[in-house]
Amino acid sequence: MLALEQFRDSTRAWLEENCPPSMRTPMVPEEIVWGGRDALFANPESKLWLDRMADKGWTCPTWPAEYGGGGLSSEEAKILAEELGRINARVALTSFGISMLGPVLLEYGTHVQKMEHIPKIVRGEIRWCQGYSEPGSGSDLASLGTKAILEGDEYVVNGSKVWTSYADKADWIFCLVRTDFEVPKHSGISFLLFDMASKGVSTKPIQLISGSSPFCETFFDNVRVPAANLMGRLNEGWSIAKRLLQHERTMISGFGLTSGQGDRGGTTSTTASLEGAAMHYRGDKDRLSDPALRDQIAQFKIDSEAFALTSQRSSEESKQGGPTATSSMLKYYGCELNKRRYELLLKAMGSQGLGWDGDEFEEEELQVTREWLRSKANSIEGGTAEVQLNIVAKRVLGLPDMLSLINKK
């Protein structure tokens, strides 16, 4: 206990000295740090903050120190998070390397692979993207057809991926490929890591309903990948793929958690809380004048708070801190909550929440329109809501699988 208190004191002192002033203000979307070879730092203090945090390994607090991580225990990491929260410190580095690849690389990768990739993830030097979905393989991901054929000591990769988040900005890809075509679909998949600068890789951004293009189509035309870049065993990539999905779901379910009280974020603006927005756009003083909306917002806030408690309970119950079977439930519910949040925000703002462009709307109002549209993807990406419910039904509740019942007959 004493050691933890000392850790808290020294952490607090270090943060006091090293967290730059502008890094203690609410994050704005254009200043989120994703890292990578071509990393952009709209705010120079973001770079300073990243480097200081990365030197301590605190961008990945619980990862082993030998690979550049913070080497903290879960208790220490909790204290670090509390101290960061206490001064409203910004997240120094956001990346799929941290939230998705890193945890499975630590679990399945070789020592050499870890030595090569983990430190660069911790320092934000390499930005990763995820090569999972294909045009014909969405919910039925295991039917994927991108192939990798071994020629000498290289794999030759051909095929295409879709919904590859930020592929056009990424340096490396973790990619599911088919390495055996003669066996049942789950048994012929391998997990390959390669450089997006390799000859034969091309990307094409997809414009979405929100007007932005966070996702790409990604094409592989005779891309040559060193055989040593295979992660895990040949044809056993599916179990790694599923493990990574659990981490992805844990990350996405966090969308429903923003502040636990159903707010958009830590800002003090008019749209920061649902009830604040609803009263502001109606000119209400003490009490929200629309009783139906008031009831819906109250119900939403209750569900948000109960969900936040459930996330807390779930992480306390899984002592080791890794994702559990409840990750599908949390992903499902968190995403539905986030979609509800935006529908309620539109109701709260009336026509001011529906602007697309122009001076008649505040920047913040236009942002809400785009975020509302973006939120629709929450229950599709990382496995649809329906896929999560299937997983809960079969894995948690133990209900029978219709497809295997039919196949048996």
Partner 1 sequence: MALVLSEDQQLLRDSARHFCQDNAPISVVRRLRDEKSELGYDEAIWRQMIELGWPGMAIAEKYGGFEFGYTGLGLVLEETGRTLASSPLISSVLLGASLLSEAGNEEQKSKLLPQIVAGDLRLAVGVDEGPHHAPSRVACSAVKEGTEYILTGTKSFILDGQTADKLLVSARTSGEPYSEGGISLFMLDANAQGLQIQRTTMVDSRNAANLVMDQVRVSEDSLLGVEGAGFTALDTTLDIARIGVASEMLGSVQEIFQRIVEYLKQREQFGVQIGAFQALQHRAAQMYSEIELCRSAVLGALRCLDDPSATAKDRAIMASLAKAKLSEVSETVSNEGIQMHGGIGMTDEFDIGFFLKRARVAQQFLGDASFHRDRYATLHNF
What does the binding site for partner 1 look like in residue numbers (CB under 8 A)? 275-276, 278-279, 286-288, 294-295, 297-299, 301-303, 305-307, 309-310, 312-313, 316-317, 326, 329, 332-333, 386, 388-390, 392-394, 396-402, 405, 409
CA distance 304 to 327: 16
Q: CB of residue 276 vs partner 1: minimum separation in angstroms?
A: 8
CA distance 363 to 356: 10
Nearer to partner 1, 219 or 332 (CB): 332
**Do 173 and 132 meet the contact criterion of CB atoms below 8 Å apart?**
no
Nearer to partner 1, 91 or 393 (CB): 393
Nearer to partner 1, 229 or 338 (CB): 338
What angle separates helix 44-56 from helix 2-18, to the nearest 10 degrees?
150
**Do 44 and 21 meet the contact criterion of CB atoms below 8 Å apart?**
no
Q: CB of residue 186 vs partner 1: minimum separation in angstroms?
A: 20
Q: CB of residue 324 vs partner 1: minimum separation in angstroms?
A: 12
Nearer to partner 1, 209 or 399 (CB): 399
Q: Among all chains, which residue has been given the structure tokens 């929260």?
A: 85
Nearer to partner 1, 86 or 313 (CB): 313
Q: CB of residue 253 vs partner 1: minimum separation in angstroms?
A: 11
Cα-based torsion angle of the residue sequence 63, 88, 48, 214 in order, rounded to the nearest 10 degrees: 80
Distance of CA 65 to the CA centre of its chain: 23
Q: CB of residue 90 vs partner 1: minimum separation in angstroms?
A: 27
For 153, the 3-state DSSP assignment is: coil
Pairing state between β 128-131 and 172-178: parallel
CA distance 299 to 181: 50
The CA angle 145-146-150, to the nearest 5 degrees, is 115
Work out the number of other CB atoms within 10 angstroms of the CB of residue 252: 22
Nearer to partner 1, 76 or 275 (CB): 275
Nearer to partner 1, 168 or 284 (CB): 284
Q: CB of residue 285 vs partner 1: minimum separation in angstroms?
A: 11
Cβ-in-10-Å burial (0-12, 13-18, 19+) of 287 comes to exposed
Q: CB of residue 329 vs partner 1: minimum separation in angstroms?
A: 5
CA nearest neighbour of 130 among 164, 95, 94:
164
Q: CB of residue 323 vs partner 1: minimum separation in angstroms?
A: 15
Nearer to partner 1, 336 or 381 (CB): 336
Residue ranges of E strands in 66-136: 128-131
